[in-house]
Amino acid sequence: MLGRRRHLSAEPESHGIDLAPMLDFVINLLIFFIITAVFVKESGLVLNRSTGVENPTQSDAESIVIQILANGDIYVDDRQVDAQAVQANVQRMKAASPESAVLIVANNAAPTGVLVEVADEVRQAGVFDVTFNTTE
Amino acid sequence: MHAKRHIAAEEHHGIDLAPMLDFTINLLIFFIITTSFIKEPGVTVIKPEASTAANDPNGNLLIAVRESGEIWMDRREVEMRDIRLMVERFHIERPDDNVVIIADRESAAGLVAEVMDMVKAGGIQNVSIAADAPGGG
């Protein structure tokens, strides 16, 4: 009886800090971060925008021009090509002039899917300096 | 003799919280480090596919352009003229972060170009167009 009472009074002091409120706080913080955490990262393609709107037909010979029409047709060097053939065409033209950059001229109404597809093909061909313009 | 009785008392004191606390704090630190507060557009769009799409770890402001031409940003629909101001504000808050435009496959390229110009006018030069890896979700 005597021993028990002494035990009750002496125990909390000798035991150190009570961890329970700290644990509550830490778990609340943890829940907050779990809820706000977003693990989805978007991957994408970086495209440049040229500031001045140039006329595609008279752009300098330095750059390879790819046109995308409103219906999604792709023209490389004024010839209609398939989306899969863009890479080969760009590679061939890049071999002729290795310094050239690529300019994609898309119609305002052209679907973005085609634009991204073309940009992807160009990047697969090894040209990462892709600029894109839009025309009426 | 008292000391021995004291040790015995610890057993009926309940579970030892220290290992749990260690674990919880480790978990907490993990979440603090990995969290990045992405501003999500709040709508789903069907993204184009591209095999050379690169992951941008700083692409934290997402702007969605839907097939219908609606522009969504930070979980609400915005007007074209609002983008610049919102991007400016975001750029001040988090100067190292970039913008990713999530454009629908069928959205007009002209609209995407316009959004891109607005973002650049707002001060963020590093803009990319989101694309999925082919075959992946």
Q: Which residues of chain B neighbour A132 with C-beta distances below 8 Å?
A: 109, 113
Q: Is the pLDDT at B80 greater than 60, yes or no? A: yes
Q: Is the pLDDT at A28 greater than 50, yes or no? A: yes
Q: Is the pLDDT at B136 greater than 70, yes or no? A: no
**What was the pLDDT predicted at A36?**
79
Using alpha carbons, select from A72, A106, A116 the residue that is nearest to residue B131: A116
Closest-approach residue (CA) in chain B for A53: B113
**What total number of domains does chain B contain?**
1
The H or E element spanning position B55 is strand B54-55
Domain containing B85 equals: 38-129
Predicted confidence (pLDDT) per residue in B25-76, tens digit: 888 888 888 777 778 888 888 989 998 888 888 888 899 999 999 999 988 8
The rounded percent of chain B whose pLDDT value lies above 70 is: 89
Is B103–A33 a contact, with Cβ atoms under 8 angstroms apart? no
**What was the pLDDT predicted at B113?**
92
Q: Does B50 map to a domain?
A: yes
* Binding-face residues of B in 33-92 toward A, CB within 8 A: 34-38, 40, 48-57, 59, 62, 65
Q: Which of B15, B39, B56 to mutate to test the interface with A (most CBs of A within 10 A)?
A: B56
Q: Does B113 map to a domain?
A: yes
**What was the pLDDT predicted at B68?**
92
ipTM of the complex model: 0.75
**What was the pLDDT predicted at B74?**
87
Q: How far apart are CA B77 and CA B89, in angstroms?
A: 17
The residue that leads in pLDDT, A51 or A48, is A48
Q: How far apart are CA A122 and CA A63, in angstroms?
A: 12
Q: Does B4 touch chain A (CB under 8 A)?
A: no
Is B116–A47 a contact, with Cβ atoms under 8 angstroms apart? yes
DSSP state of A97: S
Beta carbons of A59 and A67 less than 8 angstroms apart: no
* Band of residue A1 on the pLDDT scale cut at 50, 70, 90: very low
Q: Which residues of chain A neighbour B24 with C-beta distances below 8 Å?
A: 23, 26-27, 30
Q: Which CATH number goes with the domain that contains B59?
A: 3.30.420.270
Is A106–B113 a contact, with Cβ atoms under 8 angstroms apart? yes
Q: Does B100 map to a domain?
A: yes
Q: Does B98 map to a domain?
A: yes
The rounded percent of chain A whose pLDDT value lies above 90 is: 28
**What was the pLDDT predicted at A58?**
43
The rounded percent of chain A whose pLDDT value lies above 70 is: 79
What's the whole-number mean pLDDT along residues B73-95?
A: 91
The residue that leads in pLDDT, B7 or B93, is B93
Q: Which residues of chain A neighbour B66 with C-beta distances below 8 Å?
A: none
Q: Is the pLDDT at A11 greater than 70, yes or no? A: no
Mean residue pLDDT across chain A: 80
* Band of residue A42 on the pLDDT scale cut at 50, 70, 90: confident
User: Strands B76-78 and A79-81: what pairing?
Assistant: unpaired
Closest-approach residue (CA) in chain B for A14: B6
Q: Is the pLDDT at A32 greater than 60, yes or no? A: yes
Q: Does B72 map to a domain?
A: yes
Q: Does B130 touch chain A (CB under 8 A)?
A: yes
Could you give all domains of chain A from N- to C-terminal order, each with its CATH number? 48-135 (3.30.420)
Beta carbons of B71 and B79 less than 8 angstroms apart: yes
Q: Does B108 map to a domain?
A: yes
pTM to 2 decimal places: 0.74
The residue that leads in pLDDT, A125 or A18, is A125
Q: How far apart are CA B57 and CA A39, in angstroms?
A: 11
Range with lowest mean pLDDT among A45-59, A94-108, B25-39: A45-59
Range with lowest mean pLDDT among A45-54, A126-135, B66-75, B101-110: A45-54
Q: Does B18 map to a domain?
A: no
Q: Which residues of chain B neighbour A119 with C-beta distances below 8 Å?
A: 50, 129
**What was the pLDDT predicted at A120?**
92
**What was the pLDDT predicted at A128?**
87
User: Per-residue DSSP letters for B66-118?
Assistant: -TTS-EEETTEEE-HHHHHHHHHHHHHH-TT-EEEEEE-TTSBHHHHHHHHHH
Q: Which residues of chain B neighbour A38 with C-beta distances below 8 Å?
A: 35-38, 40
